[in-house]
Amino acid sequence: RLPAELELSIGEVAAVRYPECIPRLLLVEPELYRVIRSGEGRVIPPLYTSESPTASLDIPRLKRFGPHVRNILLQKRTSQEIESVLLHTPNVSNLAMWIISGTCAGLVPILESLPLRKLSFDPSYFFENYASDMSIPFDQPLFRNLTHLEIINASSSWSKWKQLATLPRLTHLALAGMVNQQLIDQILKSCLSLELVIMFYMNIGDVRVVLLKSVSDHLDHWEKGARGDEDFWVTAQKRKQEAIEQAAKAARMPVSEQGISLI
């Protein structure tokens, strides 16, 4: 498919040159605005009044296409800007917020109003007054319907993450940070709905736990997944399935064929 920004440009040019096609273009427009990406590099779709680093959000444009948006990545943005974007995108189900400036406590009520299923974030931006071992309140409504959760800067303290066990629909968990065996054991024991745990820095002998290499370009990688291509969630699911099939094959194999002497 064409790059998203080129698709947008083609649609805008077509509307100007062939206004009689606008009704048909309006049927296509929602697909062009399914994904918002604003961070290092490309900004898709155009969110700002100009290309200047100090440009403000183009609120009229955001109001127009915001209801069509389903996937948002915001990196190196202020909490005020994130608030403005989320207030105009009420149907977002896949949200990533990385490296935020400013306090994020005020974003919690907005997040609670969104139909979130996938979330990638650093909890310390939202619960900054919590002590290092104080439990993050995953029992809050904003987390209740999550199926996929990526925690940035995860630590090894189970007391900090123990309320993950309260999430009734969480099936996929990624921990981007320094974690240990004890934490993973507790997560697997306590989070009964989990089907997949992804880590980037250690390996554990459980088919539900997959070790992946960290991706090189996080923004492009996220966008690929948002547009339906393979991302680390899909890759890990494939790895898990391969491990299950290999284990099943080994279980059916005669002991002598598994490399174990019968003598």
Give the whole-angstrom CA distance, residue 157 versus residue 180.
Answer: 9
Q: What is the pLDDT of residues 42-53, one digit of tens each?
A: 677 778 888 777
In the sheet that 196-199 helps form, which strands lie side by side, from edge to edge?
Answer: 43-44, 35-38, 71-75, 94-98, 118-121, 148-154, 172-177, 196-199, 209-211
The full set of domain ranges for the chain reads: 1-31, 32-258
Q: So what CATH class is 32-258?
A: alpha beta
With 50 as the cut, is the pLDDT of residue 81 above it?
yes
Give me the percent of the chain exceeding a pLDDT of 90. 52
For residue 260, what pLDDT is reported? Answer: 37
DSSP state of 58: -
Pairing mode, strands 148-154 and 118-121: parallel
For residue 41, what pLDDT is reported? Answer: 65
Whether the Cβ atoms of residue 232 and residue 215 lie closer than 8 Å to each other = yes
- Burial per residue of 202-223, b for 16 or more beta-carbon CB atoms within 10 angstroms, e otherwise: eebeebbbbeeeeeeebbebbb
Helix (H) or strand (E) holding 65: helix 59-65
